[in-house]
């Protein structure tokens, strides 16, 4: 029997970490992820877990300590946001390059400047090419579930995993949630038994050495291959999790997309608002649908193209701007995926919500109505628009 509770996203993640009982958690607090180590430290203090909790002096140090502990053979988890993730940047590449299965929660927050503590996706999108698997979450339930799955995915894929959800919107909002029993979580993640680790007295290994022209390229190709192979691992772990929880996750969620004529692609909590808009327009006989990516790294390019190819037009909403004089990151990758698989449909890009700017149902309805209005002049669909900005 599942346990019905009411928790914020950060509480849910901390509770999942308690059930997982990692060996080491090195952290430095930063809004809006601070509550995760705060809640988890109480489990350490009262003896509910036997985790080595390491309060460090910076986020760079947090990921450095995570790398050292993981290389030594420990199961390691941490959390951060925004500038904290940016300060980890050097060490993110080292964690993935050393193939260490660290699980990092990224509570999405805008990156300065100007300084802003509210939600957009500029932090995790800025780290999208660092070699971490990236999973995105719409709700507190998804945050809880993905954190548990992330541990097993990381250890099977031998890659670090970043679980991302929206700061304050998801992290601090309280929702109804179904928790698994402790025993089920412990059985699901199992005991961590690394194949190679520094503290193994029976095997002498070196990790992170100088790697010049003779081998560097091969090691980066191995990392790329591991990310490609992670798609199958994520699917397998998600199926196993569904079997014990009744909650099944794919690479992305399709909402009323099968018979839709027009579609919207959007990450995280905004998808919840978008579903309401889809329902409203459907009630008026307008065939629209939604695609919500869960897995952004590895990119499920073939599956995305297959799911969208029947549409007349697509709008992609990006809560981050690549500042490249062209488009946002999700749009760029989606258009590439469509082209790669010979799918040629008009795709519009809407940059929205930067720095936590509210996005309302009426804003999303405007996106749908824009692409509907342009159906007879599809060249008007291939632009990048800033939704809700004051000109």
Non-local (6+) Cβ contacts of 3 within 8 A are 178, 179, 180, 181
Assign a CATH topology to domain 3-245: Rossmann fold (3.40.50)
Find, among 319, 387, 370, the residue nearest to 118 by Cα: 319
Dump the DSSP string for 196-217. Answer: S-TT-TT-----S----TTTHH
Q: Hey, which residues does 165 pair with through a beta bridge?
A: 107
Q: From CA 254, how far away is CA 343, in angstroms rounded? A: 18
Q: From CA 146, how far away is CA 247, in angstroms rounded? A: 11
Find, among 269, 309, 231, 233, the residue nearest to 9 by Cα: 269
Cis peptide before 19 (omega within 30 of 0): no
Find, among 85, 96, 66, 91, the residue nearest to 224 by Cα: 96
User: What are phi and psi for residue 291, nearest 5 degrees?
Assistant: -125, 120
CATH 3.40.50.920 domain position(s) in the chain: 252-387
Q: From CA 266, how far away is CA 229, in angstroms rounded? A: 25
CATH 3.40.50.970 domain position(s) in the chain: 3-245
Pick among 3.20.20.60, 3.40.50.920, 2.60.40.10, 3.30.300.30: CATH of 252-387: 3.40.50.920
391 residues of the chain, pLDDT tens digit each:
679 999 999 999 999 999 999 999 999 999 999 999 999 999 999 999 999 999 999 999 999 999 999 999 999 999 999 999 999 999 999 999 999 999 999 999 999 999 999 999 999 999 999 999 999 999 999 999 999 999 999 999 999 999 999 999 999 999 999 999 999 999 999 999 999 999 999 999 888 878 999 999 999 999 999 999 999 999 999 999 999 999 999 999 999 999 999 999 999 999 999 999 999 999 999 999 999 999 999 999 999 999 999 999 999 999 999 999 999 999 999 999 999 999 999 999 999 999 999 999 999 999 999 999 877 666 667 789 999 999 8
- Helix axis angle for 301-308 and 329-340, nearest 10°, is 80
């Amino acid at each position: 029997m599942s346990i019905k509770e009411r928790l914020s996203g950060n509480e849910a993640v901390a509770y999942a970490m308690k059930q997982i009982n990692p060996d080491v958690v090195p952290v430095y607090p930063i809004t809006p992820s601070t509550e995760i180590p705060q809640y988890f430290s109480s489990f350490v203090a009262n003896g509910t877990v036997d985790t080595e909790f390491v309060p460090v002096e910076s986020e760079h140090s947090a990921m450095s300590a995570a790398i050292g502990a993981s290389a030594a053979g420990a199961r390691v988890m941490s959390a951060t946001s925004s500038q904290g993730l940016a300060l980890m940047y050097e060490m993110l590449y080292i964690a993935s390059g050393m193939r260490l299965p660290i699980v990092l929660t990224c509570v999405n927050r805008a990156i300065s400047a100007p300084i802003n503590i509210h939600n957009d996706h500029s932090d995790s999108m800025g780290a999208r090419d660092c070699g971490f698997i990236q999973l995105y979450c719409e709700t507190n339930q998804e945050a809880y579930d993905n954190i548990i799955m992330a541990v097993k995915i990381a250890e099977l894929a031998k890659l670090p995993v970043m679980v991302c959800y929206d700061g304050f919107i998801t992290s601090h909002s309280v929702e109804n949630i179904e928790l698994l029993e402790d025993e089920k979580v412990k059985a699901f993640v199992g005991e961590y038994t690394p194949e190679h680790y520094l503290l193994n007295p029976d095997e002498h290994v070196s990790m992170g050495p100088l790697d010049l022209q003779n081998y560097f390229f091969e090691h980066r190709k191995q990392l790329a291959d591991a990310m490609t192979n992670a798609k199958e691992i994520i699917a397998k772990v998600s199926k196993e999790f569904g079997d014990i929880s009744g909650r099944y996750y794919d690479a992305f969620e399709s909402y009323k997309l099968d018979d839709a004529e027009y579609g919207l692609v959007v990450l995280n909590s905004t998808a919840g608002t978008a579903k309401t808009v889809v329902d409203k327009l459907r009630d008026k006989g307008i065939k629209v649908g939604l695609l919500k990516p869960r897995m952004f790294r590895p990119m499920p390019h073939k599956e995305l193209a297959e799911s969208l190819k029947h549409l007349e037009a697509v709008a992609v909403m990006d809560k981050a701007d690549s500042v490249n004089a062209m488009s946002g990151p999700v749009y760029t990758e989606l258009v590439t995926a469509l082209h790669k698989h010979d799918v040629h449909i008009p795709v519009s890009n809407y940059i929205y919500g930067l720095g936590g700017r509210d996005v309302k149902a009426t804003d999303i309805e405007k996106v749908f109505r824009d692409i509907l209005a342009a159906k007879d002049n599809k060249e008007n669909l291939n632009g990048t628009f800033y939704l809700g900005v004051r000109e």
